[in-house]
Structure 1
Amino acid sequence: MTVPTPQAPYGVDPLGRPYSDKSKIVAGILQLFLGTLGIGRFYVGSVGVGVAQLLTCGGLGFWALIDGILFLTSNDRTDKEGRILRG
């Protein structure tokens, strides 16, 4: 991780993309346990997807489960501003 700058207060990843103030672990845990309400998506700022998950009960739980696992395992998940979620 490099030295934080005003444009990237949490540093940048090896590819030079700024890190988010949001954590992928928190997003994943929220999505696994409260994904039927879209809470993990609301946390990272994806309001549209969060509302869709809320209306469909997280795709009857399947969408929420898969989304939670992807939050925890993927290194390319971003917040609403396009910054990479921190690990």
Structure 2
Amino acid sequence: MTQGPDDQDQPTPPPYGQVPPPPPPPQQGYPQPGYPYGASPQAPYGVHPGTGLPYSDKQKLVAGLLQILIPLGIGRFYIGDTKTGVWQLVVTVLTCGLGALWPFIDGIVILATDSKDANGLPLRN
């Protein structure tokens, strides 16, 4: 039994009782207007490449410099970590300024590491 050219052009029907799969959606070659490559409304500042978490709206440089230049826990208040900010403020006041070493070192740590804000999102650069 030979098959002619007409038999090869016909798609094979699905097995009995199964519905054929829907056709694939049309592909769009360009991203949506207003969103650059990879940006989305859920991650307006981008996504951290290591963890996949969206970046925070707070900046690492601002938080670190506030901690270093004003060593009263102001940088911690900026990123939303008010508990640590209050502790740093209280320690600095109660030790007559000697406790300002803690926020100063904390500012260096914020700048040197992948710090997170109060919501657990990584600070953006």
TM-score by length of 2: 0.62
Report the 3-state secondary structure (helix = DSSP H, G, I; strand = E; otherwise coil) of the residue aligned with 2:116: coil
The residue aligned with 1:24 is 60
Report the 3-state secondary structure (helix = DSSP H, G, I; strand = E; otherwise coil) of the residue aligned with 1:86: coil
Report the 3-state secondary structure (helix = DSSP H, G, I; strand = E; otherwise coil) of the residue aligned with 2:70: helix
Between structures 1 and 2, the one with greater helix share: 1
The residue aligned with 1:81 is 119
Between structures 1 and 2, the one with greater strand share: 1
Equivalent of residue 10 in structure 1, options 38, 45, 48: 45
Report the 3-state secondary structure (helix = DSSP H, G, I; strand = E; otherwise coil) of the residue aligned with 1:84: coil
Report the 3-state secondary structure (helix = DSSP H, G, I; strand = E; otherwise coil) of the residue aligned with 2:57: strand
Listed as ranges, the gaps of 5+ residues in structure 2 are: 1-36
How far is the alpha carbon of 1:4 from its aligned partner? Answer: 2.0
Q: Which has the higher contact order (CA 8 A, sep 6+)?
A: 1
CA distance in structure 2 between the partners assigned to 1:9 and 1:59 by the alignment:
40
Letter in 2 for 1:86: R
How far is the alpha carbon of 1:59 from its aligned partner? Answer: 6.4
CA distance in structure 2 between the partners assigned to 1:79 and 1:4 by the alignment:
21
How far is the alpha carbon of 1:6 from its aligned partner? Answer: 2.2
* Aligned 8 A contact 1:38 1:49 in 2: yes
- Number of paired residues? 84
Equivalent of residue 103 in structure 2, options 64, 71, 82: 64
CA distance in structure 1 between the partners assigned to 2:98 and 2:122 by the alignment:
25
Sequence identity percentage: 51
TM-score by length of 1: 0.87
